[in-house]
């Protein structure tokens, strides 16, 4: 199993929106590195949902429920999407400020490449982030 972080602007698509649907398509990704991460996703992988904008915080978790497939809204086979479903809101939001304050996250893509919308999360950091949310 792999672990991921998916960033979203809550005014466009929030965790509330994800919870309101049984399943959602994670789309709108066009950055090459982010697309590589999407293509690497497999059913059963887990993801943290991160709100950008004014919130800048981890807010919930999701499960990848499909293999990557071509974005049906765009006529470009390089652009892929996955289907995800909500698996729960975090007990406590974990802010970007908290993550930055912890030196164990120094090499984490969220801090090193802040514009990347889809990134892998090493298992040790995944566990630490979930622990911070409790």
DSSP the chain: --EEEEEE-TTTS-HHHHHHSS-EEE-----HHHHHHHHH--TT-EEEEEE-TTT-EEEEEEEE-S--EE-TTSS-TT-EEEEEEEEEEEEEEEEHHHHHH-GGGTT-HHHHSTT-SEEE--HHHHHHHHHHH-
How many domains does the chain contain in total?
Answer: 1
Give mean pLDDT, residues 54-64. 97
Beta bridge partner(s), residue 37 = none
For the segment 79-100, the average pLDDT, to the nearest whole number, is: 98
Average pLDDT of the residues in 65-78 = 94
- Using CA atoms, how far apart are residues 118 and 2, in angstroms rounded to an integer? 13
pLDDT at 78: 92
Please indicate whether residue 57 or residue 75 has the higher confidence score (pLDDT).
57
Whether the per-residue pLDDT at 22 is higher than 90: the answer is no
- CATH number of the domain residue 120 falls in: 3.10.590.10
Half-sphere exposure of 117 toward its Cβ, with a 13 Å CA cutoff?
A: 15
Identify the pLDDT of residue 101: 98
Token pair for residue 103? 């030196």
- Which pLDDT belongs to residue 92? 98
pLDDT at 123: 98
Residue 90 has pLDDT above 90, yes or no: yes
Q: Residue 20: what pLDDT?
A: 96
Tell me if 112 sits within 8 A of 99, measured CB to CB.
no
Structural domain harbouring 106: 3-133
């Amino acid at each position: 199993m792999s672990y991921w972080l998916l960033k979203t602007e809550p005014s466009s698509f929030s965790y509330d929106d994800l919870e309101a649907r049984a399943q959602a398509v994670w789309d709108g990704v066009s950055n090459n590195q982010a697309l590589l991460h999407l293509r690497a996703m497999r059913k059963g992988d887990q993801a943290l949902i991160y709100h950008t904008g004014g919130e800048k915080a981890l807010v919930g978790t999701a499960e990848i429920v499909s293999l990557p497939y071509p974005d049906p809204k765009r006529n470009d086979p390089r652009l892929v999407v996955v289907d995800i479903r909500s698996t729960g809101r975090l007990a406590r939001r974990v802010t970007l400020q908290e993550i930055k304050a912890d030196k164990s996250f120094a090499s984490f893509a969220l801090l090193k490449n802040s514009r990347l919308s889809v990134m892998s999360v090493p298992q040790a950091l995944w566990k630490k982030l979930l622990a911070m949310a409790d």
